[in-house]
């Protein structure tokens, strides 16, 4: 019965992928699975090959296909914490129009690391970032100004995001000026903080039901996430 459920789950994910990407791959000459072909072509069409690895994009698309209650299926946001904080590692992608909309700096949690984010947690007051899949929720104005609440979808990995007040907000320490002065980006208390000048525009674009995927090369996450596709 367990094997049957697994097959059904994988079949359902394939159906969702086809719903997103269409049936173009059926007429292609490639020998890879159709969804693999579609995802790779989408990555190329969005011109991500020089800024975001295919492996991360593939994980994001496959994982998001299993999230049934996504309201904004045409957008996906990916954070690549495998990159140092001095590099642009926040990406908003328009899947429908096959276009990279935003690419900017993003902070990680103070206790996740200095130059790189290496340690992650779902615990309250850990001041660490959390990996995995999220749904964007409502906007509000708080101590950090205009901000976006996030709902973590992975139990034990990011499910305490709302209680921890992990939100997307703007911060002055997320800037090239800060990097030039200190040699790295400023750090948050766990929030993926963005440059102040572009934060509101991004929040308004992705709020209320789009997918956010936060990635890093983390063994615990890879082995324990139910959203990571394993052949």
Q: What is the pLDDT along the chain (231 residues), one digit of tens a residue?
A: 444 444 444 444 444 454 444 433 333 333 344 387 799 999 999 999 999 999 999 999 999 998 989 999 999 999 999 999 999 999 999 999 999 999 999 999 999 999 999 999 999 999 999 999 999 999 999 999 999 999 999 999 999 999 999 999 999 999 999 999 999 999 999 999 999 999 999 999 999 999 999 999 999 999 999 998 655
pLDDT, residue 35, reads 80
Owning domain of residue 48? 2-224
Whole-angstrom distance, CA of residue 26 vs CA of residue 126: 48
- For residue 76, give the CATH number of its domain: 2.40.440.10
pTM (2 d.p.): 0.85
Asked if residue 71 is part of any domain, the answer here is yes
Asked if residue 109 is part of any domain, the answer here is yes
Asked if residue 230 is part of any domain, the answer here is no
Asked if residue 168 is part of any domain, the answer here is yes
Our count of domains for the chain comes to 1
Asked if residue 231 is part of any domain, the answer here is no
């Amino acid at each position: 019965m367990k094997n049957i459920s697994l097959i059904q789950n994988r079949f359902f994910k394939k159906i969702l992928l086809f719903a997103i990407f269409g049936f173009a791959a059926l007429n292609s000459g490639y020998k890879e699975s159709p969804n693999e072909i579609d995802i790779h072509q989408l990555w190329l069409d969005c011109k991500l090959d020089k800024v975001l690895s295919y492996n991360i994009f593939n994980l994001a698309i496959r994982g998001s296909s299993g999230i049934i209650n996504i309201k904004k299926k045409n957008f996906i946001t990916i954070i690549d914490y495998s990159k140092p904080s001095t590099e642009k590692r926040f990406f908003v992608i328009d899947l429908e129009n096959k276009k990279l909309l935003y690419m900017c700096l993003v902070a990680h949690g103070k206790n996740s690391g200095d130059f790189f984010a290496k340690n992650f947690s779902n615990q309250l007051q850990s001041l660490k970032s959390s990996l995995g899949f999220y749904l964007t929720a409502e906007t509000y104005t708080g101590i950090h100004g205009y901000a976006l609440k996030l709902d973590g979808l992975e139990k034990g990995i990011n499910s305490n995001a709302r209680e921890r007040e992990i939100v997307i907000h703007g911060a002055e320490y997320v800037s090239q000026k800060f990097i030039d002065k200190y040699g790295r980006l400023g750090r948050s208390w766990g929030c993926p903080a963005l440059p102040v000048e572009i934060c509101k525009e991004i929040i308004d674009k992705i709020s209320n039901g789009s997918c956010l995927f936060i990635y890093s090369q983390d063994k615990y996450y890879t082995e324990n996430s139910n959203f990571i596709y394993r052949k």
